[in-house]
Amino acid sequence: MTPRMIPGTHLAALSAARFAEVAVGAIVHNEAPLAMELCNAVVHCLKESVQDPVQPPYMFEVARSYFLLAVFRAFRGDTIRYFKYRRVCLTYVSKLDSATNATTLVAAVSFLDAWAYMIYNADEKKVPHIDNSIPPVERPPQAILTRTTTVEMEYNVRCNPACIASDPRNQNWIQGAPPVFLNNEAPLRARSLDALACAVRTCCDQANGRFAAISKSAKANNMEAIPQETIITPTTTAVLAHESQLCSRNMVLSAFSLLEQYEQVTPNSHKNQGIHLVMSAMDAFLDNGDDDGDGGFTDSQIQSLLSVANIVIENPLLLHHAGPTYHMVSNAAVMLCHLLNSMYMMKGGANGIRKEQELGGGMEAAMFEEILDSFTALRKLLVIHRRKLPIKLRCHSIPRPSLVLPVNGKPFIDLGETLLCACRGCQGFVLMACSPVVAAQKAQAAATKRDVEAAREARVEAADELDKDMEDLSHDFNLDDDALLGMLSQLISN
C-alpha cells in the first residue's frame, strides 16, 4: 500500500502520530520553537482526521497521538490541556480492538498519571475541572461490565482497557489496585510500568499521612490542610487490603522481575534504561536501612543511588523521561547529600578530613571522593534541567557542597538551604532528619520561597525579547489546540 492509497483523513491520523513523536523529541533537545511548530502540525492533522469516524486500523495511532500531545503539554506545564488530551486519549483507548495496544497505552497513561498524582499531592479537588468541555469516558457495553475474573473480584478492579478508561475513579488519574499489572495477559513491560506507578502513588499517600501527623504534632495551624481523602485513597485502600502483594517494596520487585522476563526475549533492552533508572531510585528509597537499626545506609542502597547518578550522567536526556522520573533523580541526589553528610560526620568533621588527607587517605576516603564526584556531576545536570522547566514542575533546588570545609558541627552540605519541591513526597527526603516542628516550619517557608522564585522568573521573562516571541507563538498555537478540543468536545458528546 502506498500513501496515495490511504484516504486523506486516515493519512492525516498517521501523520499526526509521526509529528507527535518528533515534537516530543524536539522539546527534549530544548528546541522549543521547533517543538511547538511540530505540535501545531499534529493538531492540524488531528483536526482533519476527526472530520470522519476513525476506522479500527488507525485507532491506535490516533490514541497515541493524543497521549503524546498530553505528554507535550505536561512538559510545558499546561495541566489543563494535559488533562483534556489525556481524557481524549482514553476515549479512543476504550474503542481499541487490540488488547495488547490498549493495555500498553493504559500503562503509559498510568505512569504519566503518577507524575500528576505527585504534582497535585493526590488532591483531586485541585485538579482542573474539564467535564464540561471533555465529557468523561463512556462506559462500555453491559456485556463487558458483567464479565469479571477471580482476580478482578478479589482486588475490586477491572482489567479490561475499556473498563479502566471509563472507571469514574480513573477520570483524573488511574488509581486503586494496578489493573494492568494484575492482568496476566498484558505485555510484560506494560505490567512492569503499571506496578511502578502504583508504588509511586502509595509513597505519595504515605507522605501525605506523615505530613498530616507532623502538622498535628507541631500544632502548625499555618500549614496547608491535608484532606483525609488524600491519605486514605483508593490506592492505599487496595494496598492495605493486599499488603503482601501490593506494598511499594513488592511492587518494585515485581516490576523488576517482569522487565527482566521481557528483556530475556526482546533485543534492544537499552531502550528500557528509563525504567531501570526509576527502579534503582525506588529500590534505594524503599530500603529499610542498615541491619544495626541506626538509620544508616546499606551497601545495596548506596549502590542503587550511585547507579541512578551514573545512568543520568551517561544519559542526561533521561531527565526528560515522562512521568515522575525527574523527581526520582532529584530525590536520589538529596539522599546522596545525606550520605555525604553522614560520612563527613563519621570522619570527625573538618579535622578528621584534614587528618585523613595528611595520612594519604584510604578506601573510605576514596569512596567519599567517588560519591562526591557523582553528586557534583548529577547536581549540575539537575540545575540545568530545572532552569528549563516551568516553576510548578520544578523539584528541589539542591545546595552545592561548601567550597571550604565547614566548621565542626556544621553539615558538609547544608540541606537547610534547599528550595523544596511542592510535592510532599519529595519534601520528605529533605526533611527526613528534622524534628516535626522544624519540618513544619520549613514546609511552610518553602511555599513562600517558591512564590519569590516565580516572581523573579516572571521579571526576567518580561525583559527577554525571545521569551516574548515564544509567548506570542504559544498563544497562536493554543488557539488551534482549543479549536481541536472544541471539535472533540462536540464529537464525544454526540
Average pLDDT taken over every residue of the chain: 85
Compute how many other C-beta atoms are within 10 angstroms of the C-beta atom of residue 210: 20
Candidate from 10-19, 348-357, 403-412, 472-481 with smallest mean pLDDT = 348-357
Residue 407 has pLDDT above 80, yes or no: no
User: Any idea which of 30-44, 199-213, 313-327 has the lowest mean pLDDT?
Assistant: 30-44
The answer on pLDDT for 1 being more than 50 is no
Highest mean pLDDT: which of 57-71, 191-205, 341-355, 472-486? 191-205
- Answer whether 165's CB lies under 8 Å from 139's CB: no
Q: Which amino acid is at 183?
A: N
pLDDT over threshold 80, residue 35: yes
Q: What are the tens digits of pLDDT across the range 445-454? A: 766 676 777 6
* Confidence check: pLDDT of 360 > 70: no
How much is the average pLDDT of 163-184?
Answer: 93
Per residue in 222-247, pLDDT (tens digit) is 667 888 999 999 999 999 999 999 99
Which residue has better confidence, 382 or 217?
A: 382
Tell me the angle at which helices 465-493 and 32-49 cross, rounded to the nearest 10 degrees. Answer: 20
Q: How many Å separate Cα 22 from the centre of its chain?
A: 21
Query: Taking residues 6-14, what's their average pLDDT?
Result: 70
Percent of the chain with pLDDT strictly greater than 70 = 82
Range 295-324 average pLDDT? 91
Min mean pLDDT across 126-140, 380-394, 407-421 is at 407-421
Per-residue pLDDT at 252: 95
Predicted confidence at residue 490, as pLDDT, reads 83
Asked whether 279 and 234 are in contact (CB, 8 A), the reply is no
User: Among the residues of 149-233, which ranges form H helices?
Assistant: 150-155, 161-166, 188-218
Amino acid occupying residue 35:
A
- Helix crossing, 188-218 with 248-265: angle to 10°? 160
* Average pLDDT of the residues in 372-391: 93
Whether residue 385 is predicted with pLDDT greater than 60 in this model: the reply is yes
Q: Is it the case that residue 193 has pLDDT exceeding 90?
A: yes
Residue-by-residue DSSP string for 298-359: -HHHHHHHHHHHHHHHH-GGGGG-SSSHHHHHHHHHHHHHHHHHHHHHHTTHHHHHHHHHHT
Say whether pLDDT at 393 is over 70.
yes
* 258-272, 296-310, 416-430: range with highest mean pLDDT: 296-310
Global pTM value: 0.89
Please indicate whether residue 358 or residue 125 has the higher confidence score (pLDDT). Answer: 125
At residue 143, the pLDDT reads 57
Mean pLDDT across 170-186 = 94
DSSP code at position 407: P
Answer yes or no: is pLDDT of 3 > 70: no
Give the cell for residue 409: 558541627
Q: Is the pLDDT of residue 160 over 60?
A: yes
Predicted local confidence at residue 471, as pLDDT: 75
Average pLDDT over residues 27-46: 87
What is the mean predicted confidence (pLDDT) over 62-88? 92
Least confident interval from 79-88, 101-110, 341-350: 341-350
- pLDDT mean over 3-32: 77
Please tell me the chain's helix, strand, coil percentages from 3-state DSSP, rounded to the nearest 5. Answer: 70, 0, 30
Asked whether the predicted pLDDT for residue 36 surpasses 70, the reply is yes
Mean pLDDT, residues 122-139 = 90
Of 103-107, 206-210, 319-323, 438-442, where does mean pLDDT reach its minimum? 438-442
What per-residue confidence (pLDDT) applies to 460? 59
**pLDDT band per the 50, 70, 90 thresholds, residue 46:** confident
pLDDT of residue 58: 84
pLDDT at 437 > cutoff 70:
no
